Amino acid sequence: MTEKTILVADDESHILHVVSLKLRNAGFRVLTARDGQEALEMAQQAHPDLLITDYHMPQLSGLELCQRLKQDTQTSNIPAIMLTARGYHLEPHDTEQSGILRMLSKPFSPRHLLSTVNEVLEGKAA
C-alpha cells in the first residue's frame, strides 16, 4: 500500500501537533496548514488523499475551503473531515456542496479521529 497523504488545517498549533503526531505514527504522510488559504494552495499542489480541517479559521473558513476544493475538478474528489466547536452544527445543505464526509466536535478523541480517517479512506463513509 502506498503511503497516503493527509492535509491537516487548523489555526490552533496544538491541534496540528496532536493530529499530525497521531497520523504520522499511524504511517500517514502529513502536511499541515495554519489557515484556509494556505490549505487551499497546498491541496491544489499536493493533491492529498484526505483533508482534515477546522471550521473556524482565518482567511478562509473550513467550509469555504471545502466548497472551493469541491468546485475545482482537480481537487473535487478529496474527501474531508471537519472539526467543529462543540455544539456547532452545519446544515446538511452546506455539507452537500463540499467533500465533507464526517464531522467531529472538539475536544475530540484522537483515537476516534484516527478510526474515522481510516473509515473515510476505506470508503466506508461515502
Partner 1 sequence: MQIENRKSKIENKMSMSLQNPVAEKVVAAVIPAAVLDNLAARFRPGGLCLLMLNCDGSLAYSDSAAGLFFQRFAIPMIQYPDPSAGLAERVAAMNPQSAVEVWSAMPGVVLAAFPYVEKRQLCGVMLLAAKGNSFRLGEEVLRVCSRLGLDGIWLNQQAEELPVYGDEAIQRQARLLLGMIRDQVRLAGLECELDSLSGQLANTYEELSLIYQLSSGMKINRRAVDFFKQACLDVMDVMGVRGMGVALQNASDQIEPVMYGSMSLPPGKVHRLADELLTVLTGRKSPLLVNNLPADKTFAWLGDYAKQLIAVPLQRQDQVLGCLFGIDKHVGEFDSVDSKLLNSIGNESAIYLENVKLFEDVHGLMMGLLHSLTSAVDAKDAYTCGHSERVALLSRHLAREIKLCEHDIERIYMAGLLHDVGKIGVPEAVLQKTGKLTPEEFEQMKKHPEIGARILSDIRQVKDIIPGVMHHHERYDGKGYPSGLAGENIPLMGRIICLADCFDAMTSNRTYRKALPLEVALTEIRRCSGTQFDPRLAEAFLGAGGEQFRELLRDYEQQTRRLSDLQQSLRPAAA
17 binds partner 1, rule: CB under 8 A: yes
Q: Which range, of 12-20, 66-74, 95-103, 118-126, touches partner 1 by CB under 8 A?
A: 12-20
Site for partner 1 in 54-93 (CB under 8 A): 86
Report the DSSP beta bridge partners of residue 103.
Answer: 82
Per the CB < 8 A criterion, the answer to whether 75 and 43 are in contact is yes
108 binds partner 1, rule: CB under 8 A: yes
Per the CB < 8 A criterion, the answer to whether 6 and 52 are in contact is yes
Could you tell me the smallest distance in angstroms from the CB atom of residue 25 to partner 1? 9
Question: Using CA atoms, how far apart are residues 23 and 110, in angstroms rounded to an integer?
Answer: 9
The number of beta carbons lying within 10 Å of the beta carbon of residue 122 is 9
Could you tell me the smallest distance in angstroms from the CB atom of residue 3 to partner 1? 17
Question: Which residues contribute to the site for partner 1 (CB under 8 A)?
Answer: 14, 17-18, 20-22, 86, 107-112
